[in-house]
Chains A and B, each alone.
Chain A
Amino acid sequence: DQQVKQNSPSLSVQEGRISILNCDYTNSMFDYFLWYKKYPAEGPTFLISISSIKDKNEDGRFTVFLNKSAKHLSLHIVPSQPGDSAVYFCAASARNAGKSTFGDGTTLTVKP
């Protein structure tokens, strides 16, 4: 049972445009959501997060939106830059669960 899903394995956008990465979850106990970015041959690194008490969190070019009723969150990158090309993982955690559950990842390619 995959509790966190990223249904788009890949996404390609033009430099300067908006990138939108989507993530769906099934466990209503999740109360914190994070996005990680991963370059080849490196470990995932934290990008941005959102608590379930919010519906939006913004950090520079990155904005995460949370729709709790739809159990859906999205990461917006605007404007997209070639250096944003990486694999993006969505992750969710529940209070006292002791772990984060990761999605399958979406490979973003930003073309110059």
Chain B
Amino acid sequence: DTAVSQTPKYLVTQMGNDKSIKCEQNLGHDTMYWYKQDSKKFLKIMFSYNNKELIINETVPNRFSPKSPDKAHLNLHINSLELGDSAVYFCASSLLGSGNTIYFGEGSWLTVV
């Protein structure tokens, strides 16, 4: 069984469109994350949710809106897509607290043309 699953895996879309990436975890974790890996391969946190509440927002543009309907789901909606949004987006989950292992999904490759 896939622990952290995200869909779609690949997404090609035009500038200005709105798109969503869905994420689900079946590990019973209380914290979920969205990370972005850009063209330079840096892996940077975007958002973190604990028990459906936003706890970290790393100065991400307002066009990015995460939504957590329950502890097992954290979806990412992106409005008015720009070329610079092209990246790999990783969903992840863990138990809250220092030292707890983060489990990542396989990534969603977003290309904006």
Task: List chain A positions with a Cβ less than 8 A from chain B.
Answer: 31-32, 34, 36, 41-46, 49, 51, 87, 89, 91, 93-102, 104-105
Q: Does B112 contact A (CB under 8 A)?
A: no
Residues of B within 8 A of A46 (CB): 101-103
Instruction: State A44–B108 Cα separation when bound (angstroms).
Output: 13
A49-B101, A105-B41 known; A43-B56 Cβ under 8 A: no
Q: A42-B106, A49-B99 are in contact. List 15 more A-B contacts (CB 8 A).
A: A31-B99, A32-B99, A43-B104, A43-B105, A45-B104, A46-B101, A46-B103, A91-B102, A97-B98, A98-B55, A98-B56, A99-B48, A100-B102, A102-B44, A104-B40
Pair B106/A99 contact, Cβ less than 8 Å:
no
| Majority SS at the chain A contact face | strand
B75 at the A/B interface (Cβ < 8 Å)?
no
**Distance A44 CA – B33 CA, assembled complex (angstroms):** 13
Q: How far is the CA of A112 from the CA of B56 in the complex (A)?
A: 43
Interface status of B15 (Cβ within 8 A of chain A): no
- Bound form: Cα–Cα A51–B102 in Å: 15
Per the CB 8 Å criterion, the residue count for chain B at the interface is 27
The verdict on A95 contacting B98 (CB below 8 Å), with A41-B107, A45-B104 known, is yes
Whether B43 lies near A34 (C-beta < 8 A) is: no
Interface string of B85-113 (1 = CB under 8 A from A): 00000101000111101111111000000
Shortest Cβ gap from B58 to chain A (Å): 8
Instruction: Determine if B4 is an interface residue (Cβ-Cβ < 8 Å).
Output: yes
* Measured CA separation A89–B45 after assembly (Å): 14
- Tell me, rounded to whole Å, the shortest Cβ–Cβ distance linking A79 to chain B: 25
Report the Cα distance A107→B14, complex, angstroms. 32
CB-nearest residue of chain A to B10: A41
**Which residues in window 21-53 of B have CB below 8 A to A?**
31, 33, 35, 40-45, 48, 50
State the CA gap A104–B103 with chains docked (Å): 18
- Cβ-defined contact, B48 with A43, below 8 A: no
